Amino acid sequence: MSCIFVGQINNCVMEKTIKSIGVLTSGGDSSGMNAAIRAVVRTSIFNDLKVFGIRHGYHGLIYDMIKEMKSRDVAAIIQRGGTILKTARSTEFKTEEGMKKAYDNCVKHNIDALVIIGGDGSFKGATEFGNRYNIPMVGLPGTIDNDLFGTDATIGYDTALNTIVEAVDKIRDTASSHDRMFFVEVMGRDAGFLALRAGLACGAEAILIPEIDTDLTHFTSYLEDGNKRKKSSNIILVAEGEKEGGAFEVVKKLSPYLDGYDVRISILGHIQRGGSPSAYDRVIATKMGVEAVQSLIRGEYGVMIGIKNEEIVHVPIEKAIKLHKNVDLQEVDMINILNV
C-alpha cells in the first residue's frame, strides 16, 4: 500500500505519493532514540513503506551514508542507550551546497519524507531543508534538555533525570558523612529543567538555573542562615547554563562567604546522556515514532510530535523552535519552601 496525501508547505498545496521514509538522529544523543528508530522502522514496514536509515545525522544525508532497513535491523535495541544510527552536529548542512547534496541523495534513494529525531538545532536544519526542497518532515524531540516548546517531555530527559538523581543521592551520602557542601553541576544547555526537577527529587538545598536571575548576595544570606540552622549537608544544583558561568565560577564568586563550609564541586558530565532508557522514555519514544509515520501517511507534516498531559500532540515545528518553554515557577518556590 502506498499513500496519497495532500499537504501544505509554505501555503502551496502539494500532492505526493509517499513510498519511502528516511530516518536520522541528529545533535546530542539521548536515551530512547533507539526505541524511536525501532518504532519508525517497523511502522513504516507495517504500512508497506520502504524505510532508510541515515547514519551520522545530516552529515550522512550529505555523504550518502544511507541504507534500507529491515525489521530485524532494529531487533533488541529498545533497551539500548545512544543511537544505532549514530549522530552528529553538521555545519555543512547549513550551507546551500550541503543541502543540495543532501537533496540529491534523497532523490537517488527515492526518499519521499524524513523523520528527524533531535533537538531544536536539528529542527532548524529540517525546517530550512524541508521548505527549500519540499520534502515532508516530521520531528521527534530527542534531547536530555527538555527545552522544546509544546511537549511536556523530550526523549531522554527522564533517563537523564534519573541518572542525576542516582548520582546526587550518592553525593548526599558523602555530604552528610563529612558535613560538606556540594555544588553539583548538571547539563541542560541554556535550560534549567534537569537542575530544577533533580533539585525537587533529591531535596536539594538550592538550585541555580538560567531562567531565574539568582542574586548571589541573596544566596549569601542563605548560607549564613543554613549555618545557623546547623544543616549537616548542603547540595546546591547548578545548571550548566546559569548566568554566573557554572559551578566553578559560582564557588569562586561565593568564596568570601564560604568560610566554615567544607566545599566540593562535582560536574556530572556525559554520564547524564547515556545508559539504558527508562520505561517512560521507551514508551514515549515508541508512541512518538509510530505517530511520526502515521502522521506522514495522513499528510500531516512540518510538525514535531510531542506529549501533553499523556496525549500525543502535533506541534508546528517552527513553533517548537521559536517559542520558549518556561520552567514551572511553583516548582522553584517549592525548593525554597522545603528548605526550612
What are the residue numbers of the active site?
A: 145
**Residue 94 has which C-alpha cell?**
547549513
Q: How many CB atoms lie within 10 A of CB 91?
A: 10
Question: Per CB under 6 A, does 188 bind ligand F6P?
Answer: yes
Min CB(156)–ligand F6P separation in Å: 8
Q: Per DSSP, what are the bridge partners of residue 51? A: 21
- Shortest distance, position 9 Cβ to ligand F6P, whole Å: 28
Nearest distance, CB of residue 330 and ligand F6P, angstroms:
24
Residues 19, 113: Cα–Cα separation, whole Å:
9
Is residue 196 at the binding interface for ligand F6P, with CB under 6 A as the rule?
Answer: no
* DSSP states of 203-269: T-SEEE-TTS---HHHHHHHHHHHHHTT-S-EEEEEETTSTT-SHHHHHHHHGGG-TT-EEEEEE-G
CB-nearer residue toward ligand F6P: 180 or 273: 273
- Among 204, 156, 155, 184, residue whose Cα is nearest residue 331: 204
Query: From the list 50, 56, 172, 273, which residue makes contact with ligand F6P (rule: CB under 6 A)?
Result: 273
Task: Build a one-symbol-per-residue string for 90-119: x at contacts with ligand F6P by CB under 6 A, - elsewhere.
Answer: -----------------------------x
Asked if 197 touches ligand F6P (CB under 6 A), the answer is: no
As measured in angstroms, the least distance from the Cβ of 50 to ligand F6P is 31
Site for ligand F6P in 126-185 (CB under 6 A): 143-145
Helix axes 96-108, 120-133, angle to 10 degrees: 70
Interface with ligand F6P: number of residues (CB under 6 A):
10
User: Quick one: CA dihedral 286, 287, 289, 293, positive or negative?
Assistant: positive
3-class SS of residue 184: strand
Q: How far is the CB of 159 from ligand F6P (least distance, A)?
A: 12
- If binding is defined by CB under 6 A, does position 80 make contact with ligand F6P? no
82 counts as binding ligand F6P under rule CB under 6 A: no
Q: Which residues are near ligand F6P by CB under 6 A?
A: 28, 119, 143-145, 187-189, 240, 273
